[in-house]
């Protein structure tokens, strides 16, 4: 029976990834395909790394895909039986053309549903401390498109009627018409001293807040070089500044770090970087695809002494999933000793109730191989459980020392570009495979970005791709990468001073 598809029009909210609704996030994490707008936080796209990803952003003067093609794509994906998330900035039904997409899906017989998001008409002014309503200042607010194809000068209709309102006027997509909007409102009777503000926020590439009055807001915005997308606010509420107390300046404030790796790694690194004030941007996300257990897993339960070698947190999860798939009771592994490549892998093992018998001080395959050579007894077989793309170095060291080695492929790592063109000061790589995939897909690091490697194996892979200087973390962990970036940034600031 053919699976019936479903399309969800999901509002992503404005700004950081955690402003999406819980329902929207759950749908994103479980969908088969995501069709996304421009300026979506890449951290949200990383939540759908398992899914097909289709960029369909529209910005003033630059369309990735015409609306008719977006409608057709959504219909095609839905008719193919996929669960689809159409991820839109703000709210889909507030000048997001979500209604057009809904009607196109309805006409094609594709089931669909809208999941609301926090609209930019509320969220962007609020981030600048401007409430769209406030007792004594504004008892209503009105959201207006800043331009329309139905009028000769493209300005919104009924500006004269809007000028007579006492509430807050919020114009979306009107930056290019700001001077005309202010002039027409003034001509229609709005006092020139009426407070006004222009806010470029959310995930806008160049955030800015400019305050003034109808008389001077256009000149001030021009002087500040405010860029689209921006929200225009007119009314008494625009003079308010309901902002949180200024936070202390963190050491990586203003620094953007691109991330390349699995969600398990990039999320840990992002938390550490954000605690230091940096903006962490997933640029290429790795998805772990478990592979079916290979023949020979019964060797683990035959009662003969052996070493089980695991080289990543992902590998630990896949190992125990494969044990279950092979119907091997973990209690039958009593003759096995476990080796972990580093503390993170050992921690993942401990969470499964097993303490690693061996964990080298430095988390590299070569160090683990040398430690195994010293720890393994005569005749003990060594079983390597790892990724399909793993380096042959560890096996080579072990076999050269005369050990019997069996290798089992647990998973394959597949990479998806989340935001390959993002501006970044640093680009952090979590593996040699990530380096190869990045340079194969993108050719080079973002302009001006310094590459950072998690360890020497990743550094060797990067050296094969570029002659540009790069950094290598001393400690092979997410914390080590964050510390490496922190030291480099402090050194750079010291030189500039």
d(CA 358, CA 31): 40
Q: Which of 37, 41, 91, 425 is catalytic?
A: 37
Asked if residue 285 lies in contact with residue 262, where contact means CB atoms within 8 angstroms, the answer is yes
Q: Which of 38, 58, 220, 412 is catalytic?
A: 58
Annotated catalytic, 493?
no
Q: Which of 41, 82, 91, 173 is catalytic?
A: 173
Nearest Cα to Cα of residue 109 among 136, 85, 76: 76
Annotated catalytic, 394?
no
Annotated catalytic, 58?
yes
Q: Which residues are catalytic?
A: 37, 58, 173
């Amino acid at each position: 029976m053919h699976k019936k598809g479903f399309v969800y029009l999901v509002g992503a909210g404005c700004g950081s990834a955690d402003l999406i609704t819980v329902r929207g996030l759950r749908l994103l994490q479980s969908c088969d395909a995501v069709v996304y707008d421009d300026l979506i936080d890449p951290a949200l796209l990383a939540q759908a790394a398992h899914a097909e990803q289709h960029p369909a952003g529209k910005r003033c003067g630059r369309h990735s895909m015409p609306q008719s093609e977006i409608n057709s794509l959504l219909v095609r994906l839905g008719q193919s039986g996929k669960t689809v998330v159409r991820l839109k900035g703000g709210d889909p039904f507030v000048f997001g053309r979500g209604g057009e997409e809904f009607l196109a899906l309805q006409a094609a017989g594709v089931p669909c549903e809208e999941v609301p998001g926090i609209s930019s008409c509320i969220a962007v002014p609020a981030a600048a401390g401007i409430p769209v309503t406030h007792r004594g200042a504004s008892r209503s607010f009105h959201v207006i498109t800043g331009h329309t194809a139905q009028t000769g000068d493209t300005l919104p209709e009924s500006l004269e009627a809007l000028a007579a309102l006492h509430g807050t006027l919020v114009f979306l997509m009107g930056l290019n018409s700001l001077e005309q909007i202010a002039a027409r409102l003034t001509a229609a009777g709005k006092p020139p001293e009426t407070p006004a503000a222009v806010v470029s926020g959310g995930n806008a590439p160049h955030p800015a807040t400019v305050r003034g009055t109808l008389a001077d807001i256009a000149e001030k915005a021009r002087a500040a070089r405010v860029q689209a997308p921006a929200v225009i606010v007119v009314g008494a509420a625009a003079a308010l500044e309901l902002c949180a107390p200024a936070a202390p300046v963190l050491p990586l404030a203003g620094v953007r770090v691109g991330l390349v790796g699995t969600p398990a790694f990039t999320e840990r690194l992002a938390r550490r970087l954000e605690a230091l004030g940096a903006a962490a941007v997933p640029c290429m996300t790795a998805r772990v695809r478990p592979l079916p257990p290979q023949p020979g897993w019964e060797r683990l339960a035959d009662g003969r002494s052996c070493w089980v070698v695991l080289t990543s947190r992902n590998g630990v999860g896949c190992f125990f999933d494969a044990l279950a798939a092979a119907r091997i009771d973990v209690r039958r592994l009593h003759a096995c000793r476990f080796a972990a490549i580093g503390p993170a892998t050992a921690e993942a093992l401990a969470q499964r109730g097993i303490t690693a018998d061996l964990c080298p001080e430095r988390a590299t395959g070569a160090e683990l191989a040398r430690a195994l050579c010293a720890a393994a007894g005569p005749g003990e077989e060594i079983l390597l459980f790892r990724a399909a793309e793993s380096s042959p170095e560890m096996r080579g060291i072990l076999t050269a020392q005369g050990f019997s080695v069996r290798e089992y492929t647990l998973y394959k790592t597949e990479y998806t570009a989340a935001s390959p063109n993002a501006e970044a000061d640093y680009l952090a790589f979590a593996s040699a495979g990530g380096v190869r995939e990045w340079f194969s897909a993108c050719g080079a690091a973002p302009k001006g970005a310094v590459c950072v490697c998690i360890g020497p194996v990743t550094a060797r892979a990067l050296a094969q791709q570029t002659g540009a200087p790069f950094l290598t973390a001393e400690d092979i962990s997410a914390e080590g990468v964050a510390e490496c970036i922190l030291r480099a940034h402090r050194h750079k600031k010291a030189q500039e001073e």
